[in-house]
A and B are shown apart, each in its own frame.
Chain A
């Protein structure tokens, strides 16, 4: 390999080889016990040690060669590209392309016609998977992340228990519709209000906490809600969950078979796809509502106060801003959108159980906010598409079975890839996909504020 690329550049190779060897040694140290040995039981129930030197050698080789390749080829290529780009930027000065300038409009347009496109491409029945698993699933996370963005991205309050509000929303819809038969459209705002109330209830005790302490308390709050849902069996049916939750209706028209159903009224062939498409537009509307409210709020005094709070709480107080109510409104607004998303989730699944509201969900939503760039709606949406869409698409990668054998289930590697992607993005763009901040007001010209100046908040 060294001979192959000798003319490329002399100076890089010795160090690259050295680094490769070091990486190999480290990999050997790490893997020798994990991969090199395997304990098993034999027929007479004795523990036996199998040695897997071949597999270990492959892993070590991958690490060593990978490190060598990175040092020798990829890293020089990256620096060259960076230089080239800098040169281009200084020359052009930067009128962004049409696509970049109108990215959000184009994205919304695409989202609006997405179900139509899918139906045209794969037919009504085939569209189910693409509209439901990709469209709706991603949009739920987009909405959750946009809701959490208000708390974490704008107000700078680290909330690790956001899924609690999602749960409150979901269970308010599930319980009130099963016990009292209220319709989705009545319960949607109510779920938001309940979640906001819980946001304020959480907000009060944690107002004095900052940073890590706040994170821990919010984390505990998320767990409390989940444990209550598990243990309050008389109401929530515990781990069994609530099933048979009423579906949402289109202004009173149910999506059922029968003479009053959607399909019958509009004279269409009966299909589950209509309901999914309806849900898709519903969540799209809810997500866009979240975005619209966020954009409006940022130009309002309360939104500016949130951002000021993130930058410097003491200065805020010196300007006569009541930081208590400011924090509480941030918690309540964020929680409200979580509640909306929750009640939508319950209507979509028709079933809720505490298992849907584990800490991992909070972590995923927070990861999307951080990856997207705190405060940036577009960045967060892109992050949600990459993260959730990326993990969903793993299910589609059945060809991997031919490579890794028939027992290989790609979706099990979801979290591994999620983590890997997070590390990569954080190394490559520490401030997330969109690191710069758009000012809420301007006198002469709207200039983006570089991420170097904005703060992440103290808690």
Chain B
């Protein structure tokens, strides 16, 4: 494991470059001409509403799907470049050093936590055991390698706080621990890019905070770049260096978390407004002032939404469910839709 404290020069160099990726399942276009970059040493988050194609992107990157079109280039630290769409899935982990976790945890439930981490070091151990033959004869090379593998597993078990349960079957661990173990297992393959599919799903706030710390530690200590799909905005906004937003298989926003958070397109995507409507809204407010039309549109939407909520509260005394992460949106989808419907009226209602 080479340690690279994210250097400013290096962090501009993309570890993964996705160009014009598209994936079709029969007539369904899951990803349409998607291009994005993950920079080395960064935590890049991919967010988007359900069904936006996030997991499909992951499956294309890790070789579980063969993309219909496009190019996925992974550059390793040693300068080697791999076209992921041409590699079979196991070589993507073995050669290109991309590891992944799954949305629904896929641990080897009948194997102990320790064994799970040892299986992850398969290729290293396979080589040192002389593809089983030398190891079967009990040569010292394999013994040394197996001790090293156990030490590495111990390191990660300590890191994820599961050292006491090392000899318990993975299926017996609590849910949060299983999530952490899956990340540790992926890390045991010595990846340069770690792809995490909703690592915080189903975690309580404390576990989620621990996960944040773990991911930051992984980035800072091992120099592994992280690609992350997440719905929990607390996680996304807190730890990611870069956020990509997908909707219906296309990229609608890309940038720093603060920027993405204020992007009207993103807000619209999350609140369920049609693209054309938001464009109309932007057009409408663009004329009078010279300021960024997007900001004004957002401000207007937000103001209307707040007013809406205030009205609702006055009537029902109901608690508005405001998520802290979405400060600017501060509205429930329903009220936002009403807002947009109102915004549509003056421009003549193109539908």
Residues on A lying within 8 angstroms of B by beta carbon are 293, 296-297, 299-302, 304-305, 307-308, 310-312, 314-323, 329, 437, 439-447, 449-450, 452-455
Contact = CB atoms under 8 A, between A and B. Distances in A.
B167 A445 contact: yes
Contact of B115 (A293, A304, A316): A304
Contact of A320 (B106, B109, B123, B129): B123
Interface stretch (B1-9, B88-96, B204-212, B311-319): B88-96
A255 B153 CA distance: 55
A315 B116 CA distance: 10
Given A300-B132, A443-B154, A454 B167 contact: no
Interface stretch (B168-176, B224-232, B297-305): B168-176
B119 A305 contact: yes
Contacts of B172: 453
B328 interface: no
B115 A440 contact: yes
Contacts of B132: 297, 300-302, 329
Contact of A455 (B109, B126, B189): B109
28 contacts: A296-B136, A300-B125, A300-B129, A300-B142, A301-B132, A302-B132, A304-B111, A305-B122, A307-B111, A308-B108, A312-B107, A314-B102, A315-B106, A318-B93, A318-B106, A318-B186, A319-B90, A320-B189, A439-B111, A440-B115, A442-B112, A443-B163, A443-B166, A445-B167, A453-B110, A453-B171, A454-B169, A455-B110
B100 interface: yes
Given A307-B108, A315-B107, A320-B93, A443 B167 contact: yes
A315 B118 CA distance: 13
In the A-B complex, the 5 residue pairs with the closest CB atoms: A454-B110, A320-B93, A320-B94, A311-B108, A301-B125
Contacts of A318: 62, 64, 89, 93, 99-100, 102, 106, 186
A48 to B, nearest CB: 61
Contacts of B115: 304, 307, 439-441
A424 B135 CA distance: 41
Interface string B35-56: 0000000000000000000000
A227 to B, nearest CB: 34
Interface of B: 62, 64, 89-94, 99-100, 102, 106-112, 114-115, 118-123, 125-126, 129, 132, 135-136, 142, 146, 150, 153-154, 157, 163, 166-172, 185-186, 189
Contacts of A308: 108, 111, 119
A329 B132 CA distance: 11
Given A319-B90, A442-B167, 13 more contacts: A296-B136, A301-B119, A301-B121, A302-B129, A318-B64, A318-B93, A319-B93, A320-B94, A320-B123, A322-B94, A437-B110, A449-B169, A453-B172
A98 to B, nearest CB: 24
A13 B118 CA distance: 56
Given A307-B111, A311-B109, A321 B119 contact: yes
B136 A297 contact: yes
Contacts of B186: 318-319
Contact of A442 (B62, B157, B166): B166
A97 B72 CA distance: 60
Nearest to A302: B132
A322 B90 contact: yes
Contacts of A320: 90-94, 99, 122-123, 189
Contact of B89 (A293, A317, A443): A317
Contacts of B62: 318
Contacts of B154: 443
Residue of B135, B153, B172 with highest tally of chain A CB at under 10 A: B135
A442 B119 contact: no
B118 A304 contact: yes
A320 B150 CA distance: 18
B101 to A, nearest CB: 8
Contacts of B125: 300-301
Nearest to A333: B132
B163 A307 contact: no
A315 B102 contact: yes
A296 B142 CA distance: 12
A297 B132 CA distance: 8
B272 to A, nearest CB: 33
A77 B125 CA distance: 52
A445 B168 CA distance: 10
Contacts of B166: 442-444
Nearest to A443: B166
Given A296-B136, A439-B112, A453 B123 contact: no
A439 B132 CA distance: 19
A311 to B, nearest CB: 4
B122 A319 contact: yes
Contacts of A305: 119, 122
A454 B112 CA distance: 10
A308 B120 CA distance: 10
A72 B329 CA distance: 69
A442 B91 CA distance: 29
Contacts of A297: 132, 136
A443 B126 contact: no
